[in-house]
């Protein structure tokens, strides 16, 4: 799989809503995401992030509104073909334990049946290169992987179908902070090189600020802030969004204060 010339698709939400009884999981979301951008969707648990994400690949059908990919209503697309064309990575990637890592990476191609014809889609070895793991990992079982390695395999599996769009739902959420940061950096590089459009759900504002071009803050099914990382940090936010930024701000402030107290001469 060589570097891509094209840029992943643009996404457009038009007044999208999804209800569970009295709960509006998604409550009238309208917005556009430019092809090639890296957008983080941030919010507290239960704010509707996963539900909104899943309306794109039709894991969830909205009760109102529509979702367009490059101008085409996703509800007009055959769901399985649509899902094969979109990379999807989530927490605890769910690798099949009885298959090798290599087989897991190429699983959708096997199930889908169309992949064999995809010129240059890359073998498992090439996909392992992309996620910076040794090629001999292809012969391992998933049980022989660390959490971070397993998430890298999840990314490789998502890239096997040569998607233009990557949907990531708390992809590194279960990892320790250092591994998480390394994977975030590494994925950001892939996003650039492959010209992907990435929509990444995270509850971690610091992660969003470090990796995304644009941050959407969600609360109670609505988008309550939509800005660049700079705008989020330096702008005026609604209270619920400011509360999320306050966490990394406070942590950074404490660390700086501790450094000064360690070396008062500095
Ligand atoms: P997030 O990903 O931000 O944590 P979700 O999109 O998973 O939030 O959920 C948004 C809201 O919708 C929550 O109140 C959640 O309880 C509710 N919800 C999500 N999925 C279902 C479901 N299958 N049945 C009932 N309620 C659901
Ligand atoms: Mg979620």
Which stretch of 22-26, 83-87, 254-258 has the lowest confidence by average pLDDT?
254-258
Ligand nearest to the CA of 171: 2
Return the ligand 1 atom nearest residue 44 CA.
3
pLDDT tens profile 128-170: 999 999 999 999 999 999 999 999 999 999 999 999 999 999 9
Share of the chain above pLDDT 90, in %: 77
pTM for the model: 0.91
**Ligand 1 near 48 CB (within 6 A):** yes
Q: Does the structure show a pLDDT above 50 at 118?
A: no
Sequence-ordered alpha helix ranges (H) in the chain: 49-54, 79-84, 101-105, 107-112, 124-130, 147-159, 177-194, 205-211, 229-234, 239-262
d(CA 50, ligand 1 centre) in Å: 7
**Ligand 1 near 51 CB (within 6 A):** yes
At residue 266 the predicted structure's pLDDT band, cuts being 50, 70 and 90, is: low
Average pLDDT, integer, range 107-136: 72
**Ligand 1 near 49 CB (within 6 A):** yes
Which residue has the CA at smallest separation from atom 17 of ligand 1? 25
d(CA 48, ligand 2 centre) in Å: 7
* CA 194/CA 36 separation, integer angstroms: 9
At residue 260 the predicted structure's pLDDT band, cuts being 50, 70 and 90, is: confident
The residues whose Cβ lies within 5 A of ligand 2, an ion, are 50
At residue 174 the predicted structure's pLDDT band, cuts being 50, 70 and 90, is: confident
Ligand nearest to the CA of 47: 1
Long-range CB pairs of 216-220 (<8 Å, 24+ gap) are: 216/31, 216/39, 216/40, 216/41, 216/42, 217/42, 217/43, 217/241, 217/244, 218/41, 218/42, 218/43, 218/47, 218/48, 218/49, 218/52, 219/43, 219/44, 219/47, 220/24, 220/27, 220/47, 220/48
Measured over the CA atoms of residue 161, residue 84, residue 116 and residue 91, the dihedral's sign is positive
Q: Does the structure show a pLDDT above 60 at 187?
A: yes
Return the ligand 1 atom nearest residue 53 CA.
6
Q: Does the structure show a pLDDT above 60 at 258?
A: yes
User: Shortest CA distance to 160 belongs to which of 91, 250, 213, 84?
Assistant: 84
Q: Does the structure show a pLDDT above 60 at 246?
A: yes
Share of the chain above pLDDT 70, in %: 91
Share the mean pLDDT of the chain: 90
pLDDT tens profile 34-87: 999 999 999 999 999 999 999 999 999 999 999 999 999 999 999 999 999 999
Ligand nearest to the CA of 48: 1
Which stretch of 107-111, 126-130, 184-188, 207-211 has the lowest confidence by average pLDDT?
107-111
Which residue has the CA at smallest separation from atom 14 of ligand 1? 46
Ligand nearest to the CA of 19: 1
- pLDDT at residue number 177: 87
d(CA 264, ligand 1 centre) in Å: 49
Return the ligand 1 atom nearest residue 50 CA.
2
**Ligand 1 near 43 CB (within 6 A):** yes
* CA 228/CA 110 separation, integer angstroms: 39
- pLDDT at residue number 110: 57
């Amino acid at each position: 799989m060589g570097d891509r010339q094209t840029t992943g698709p643009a996404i457009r939400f038009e007044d999208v809503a999804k209800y569970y009884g009295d709960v509006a999981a998604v409550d009238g979301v309208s917005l556009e995401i430019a092809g090639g951008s890296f957008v983080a969707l941030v919010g507290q648990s239960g704010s509707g992030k996963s539900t909104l994400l899943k309306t794109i690949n039709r894991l969830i059908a909205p009760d109102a509104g529509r979702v367009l990919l490059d101008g085409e209503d996703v509800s007009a697309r055959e769901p399985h073909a649509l899902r094969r064309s979109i990379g999807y990575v989530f927490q605890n990637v769910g690798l099949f334990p009885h298959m090798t890592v290599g087989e897991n990476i190429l699983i959708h191609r096997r199930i889908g049946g169309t992949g064999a014809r995809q010129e240059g889609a890359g073998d498992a070895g090439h996909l392992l290169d992309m996620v910076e793991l040794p090629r001999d990992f292809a012969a391992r079982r998933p049980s022989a992987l660390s959490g971070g390695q397993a998430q890298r395999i999840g990314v490789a599996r998502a890239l096997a179908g040569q998607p233009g769009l990557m949907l990531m739902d708390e992809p590194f959420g279960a990892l320790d902070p250092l591994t998480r940061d390394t994977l975030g950096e590494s994925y950001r590089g892939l996003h650039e090189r492959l010209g992907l459009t990435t929509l990444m759900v995270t509850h971690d504002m610091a992660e969003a600020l470090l990796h995304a071009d644009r941050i959407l803050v969600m609360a109670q099914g609505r988008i309550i802030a939509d800005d660049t990382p700079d705008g989020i940090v330096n702008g005026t936010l609604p209270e619920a969004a400011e509360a999320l930024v306050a966490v990394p701000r406070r942590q950074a402030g404490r660390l700086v204060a501790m450094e000064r107290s360690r070396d008062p001469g500095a």
